[in-house]
Amino acid sequence: MGAETFPVDLTEKERELASPFFTNVDRNIFGLINLPEVIKGTLFSRYSRSDKSARKLLLDEFMPNKDVADVIQTNMPGKGLDSIVATQKAEDFYQRVLVGYGDDSVAELAGAHVACENISSLAGDLLTDSRIGLSYLEKSARYMPFDKKVNGMYMWYRDPKIMDSKFAEPYSSTMDKIFDLYGKWIPVLISYIKEANPKTDDTTDRAYESATRAKALDVLKNMLPAGRLTNVGLFGNGRAYEYLLTKLYSSGIAEGVDIANRLHEELRKMMPAFVKRSQLSEYIVGTKEGMAKFAEQNIGAVTTERIDSAYTKLVDYDKDGEAKVLAAMLYPYSNLPLGKLREVVNNMGTDKRKELVGAYLSKRRNRRDKPGRALENSYYTFEMCVQYGMFRDFHRHRQLSIEKQMLTTRLGYEVPRELEFVGLTQDYRALFDEIAEVHQKMEKEMPIEAQYIVPRGFRMLWYMKMNLREVYHITELRSTKQGHPDYRKVAQDMRNLVNDVHPALAEYMQVDMNEYALPRIDSEKRIDKKLAEMDRKAQDGTSK
C-alpha cells in the first residue's frame, strides 16, 4: 500500500472535463495547464481551505461560474499541429539559451503550478523547505478536519517499509486510534468553546460557527501525526524545481524519492528543459552519510540535561548589533563611509540613539509597513524546544536560516489547556504515552520511518538564525490575534529576548502581547463585511 492507496475520486465524465487543464487526471501529483495565472492562483488559494482536490474544485466551484468559464476557455491554446509545433519551438529556444549560453537564470522566467495530493506531512516538510523560488499553500488543519475515511481507511501514510515489518500492526492500530479520538473530540471541543464564548448580537451565525470550529480544530490539530495525508500546492520557477527534485531524490526518505519521480514526470510535460539535470546528488548523500558517521563516533555517547518543558532561547546575538543598525539607518542620508558612521553612533548618548531609532521606525502604522534594510545588520540565533506543530508554522518563512533535528517522542509533549475543562487531559496523556512507546520501539530499527507516527504535539529541537528585520516580520506576523496561541507565545518570547539585549531596537516591534479566547472572531466579522459589500455591489449592478 503506497502512494496511490487513495485513488483519484473522479467520474469518467469529470475526467473528460478536467483533462484539458491538468497534466493527468488519474494520479495524485499533477500540473495545472491551460489556465490563466489568476485562475491558478485563485484555485490554489481556495485549495488550502477546502477538502476537495484541485480538480474537483475547478469543476465544482470555478467552471459553473460563467465569467470564470469564459476566461478559461479564452485562454485555451490552439489544438492539433499548430499547438504542437509552437510548444516544440519554445522548447528548442530554451534549450539554446540553457545549453548554448549556460545561463541558468533563464530557468527563473518559466513557472509551473503543481499539486501534490495525499502526501504525508513529513513529505510536506521536504517540499516546503526551499528558501526562494517556490511558493506553496498546504491544506489547513485549522479550517479542515482530518477525520474522514476513504474506502474505510483513515488518511495516513502507509509506508511500505513499515507495512512490511513487524511494526505494521502496532503502527496501524495506533494511527487509527489517533484519528478515532481526534474525530470524536472535535464536537466535544466545539460544544465547550461555544459554552465558554456565547454568540454576541453583532456576530453572524456564519462567523460564529467558523470561529468556534477553527478554535476547536486549532486545539486538536497537534494530535495529528507526521504521517497524516495532506495536499500541498506549489508554484515555482524552473531553477527552484530543478533543485527541489535533486533534494527529494537525495532525501533518504522513500516517500520523498517516490514524490521526486512522480513530480519529475509531470514537470517534464510542463518545463522539460529546466528539470533535465535533476537527479540524486552524490554530494548531498555523501555529506549526510559522512556527518551522521562523525556525529555517531564523536557525540553519540554525550548526554544532555533532561528537558522537562518547552523553551525559546536566544543562543547568541550580535553584541555590536545596535551600533551597526543605527549606522546603517543613517547611511543613505549621509556622505560618510560606514566605518565613520559607526564612530558617530558610538559617540551618541542614549537619548540621541533612541531619537534616531524613532525617526526611522516610529511612523510605521502596522506590520505591513516594512521596516527598512538597516535592520538586516544585526543577527540573532534562537533555539526552540517546542511542539513540532510550531516548527511547521515557522518553517514557511524564507529569509532566515532554519535547521531541525529528527522528530522524536523523547522530549515530551504539551497538553492543550482546553482539554482540562472537558475532562480529556488524562485520555490525551494516555494516547501520547502509547504513541511514544510504539515510536521508541520503531525508532531503534527504522528511525526515519518511525517519524510518521509522531504527532505535532511532541516537542522537537530546532533553531532559527535571522536578522532583526526578519525578527520584526516573524514576531509581528505570528503574534496577531487570529494566530494559534502556541506560536503566538513563541513570537512573544522572541520579542522579549531581543528586548533584553537591544531594548532600543525592540521598542518599535508591533507585537501583540495579549491573549484571546476566540481569536478568529474579528477576522470572521471582517469577512462578513466584505461579503455583504460584495452582495450590495452585485445587487446594485443587477438593478441597473
Cα separation of 159 and 248, whole Å? 16
Asked if 48 contacts 140 with a C-beta cutoff of 8 angstroms, the reply is: yes
Cα separation of 101 and 9, whole Å? 45
Residue 83: the pLDDT is 41
Q: Per-residue pLDDT for the chain (544 aa), expressed as one digit of tens each?
A: 555 678 888 999 999 999 999 999 999 999 998 887 667 777 887 787 788 999 999 999 888 887 777 767 766 665 444 444 444 444 554 454 444 445 566 666 678 899 999 999 999 999 999 888 899 899 988 889 999 999 999 999 999 999 999 999 999 999 999 999 999 999 999 999 999 999 888 889 888 999 899 999 999 999 999 999 999 999 998 889 999 999 999 999 999 999 999 999 999 888 777 788 889 899 999 999 999 999 888 887 666 667 888 999 999 999 999 999 999 999 999 999 999 999 999 999 999 999 999 999 999 999 999 999 999 999 999 999 999 999 988 988 877 899 999 999 999 999 999 999 999 999 999 999 999 999 999 999 999 999 999 999 999 999 999 999 999 999 999 999 888 888 899 999 999 999 999 999 999 999 999 888 777 777 777 777 777 777 777 777 655 5
Termini Cα distance of the chain: 58
Residue 79: the pLDDT is 46
Residue 541: the pLDDT is 66
Residue 72: the pLDDT is 73
Paired strand residues for 210:
none
Q: Distance of CA 393 to CAs 207, 300, 389, 470, 484, Å?
A: 24, 30, 7, 15, 9
Cα separation of 453 and 438, whole Å? 8
Q: Distance of CA 378 to CAs 315, 322, 369, 465, Å?
A: 14, 7, 20, 11
C-alpha closest to that of 312 among 466, 480, 497: 497
Backbone phi and psi for residue 535, each to the nearest 5 degrees, phi listed first: -65, -40
Fill in the amino acid letter for 254: A
Handedness of CA 265, 267, 270, 275 (dihedral sign): negative
Q: How many Cβ atoms sit within 10 Å of the Cβ of residue 480?
A: 15
Residue 89: the pLDDT is 47
Asked if 242 contacts 275 with a C-beta cutoff of 8 angstroms, the reply is: yes
Cα separation of 43 and 359, whole Å? 42
Residue 509: the pLDDT is 96
Asked if 223 contacts 456 with a C-beta cutoff of 8 angstroms, the reply is: yes
Residue 9: the pLDDT is 85
Q: What are the chain's domains? A: 1-141+224-302 (3.30.1360), 309-413+455-513 (3.30.1360.170)
Residue 383: the pLDDT is 97
Residue 245: the pLDDT is 95
Asked if 491 contacts 464 with a C-beta cutoff of 8 angstroms, the reply is: no
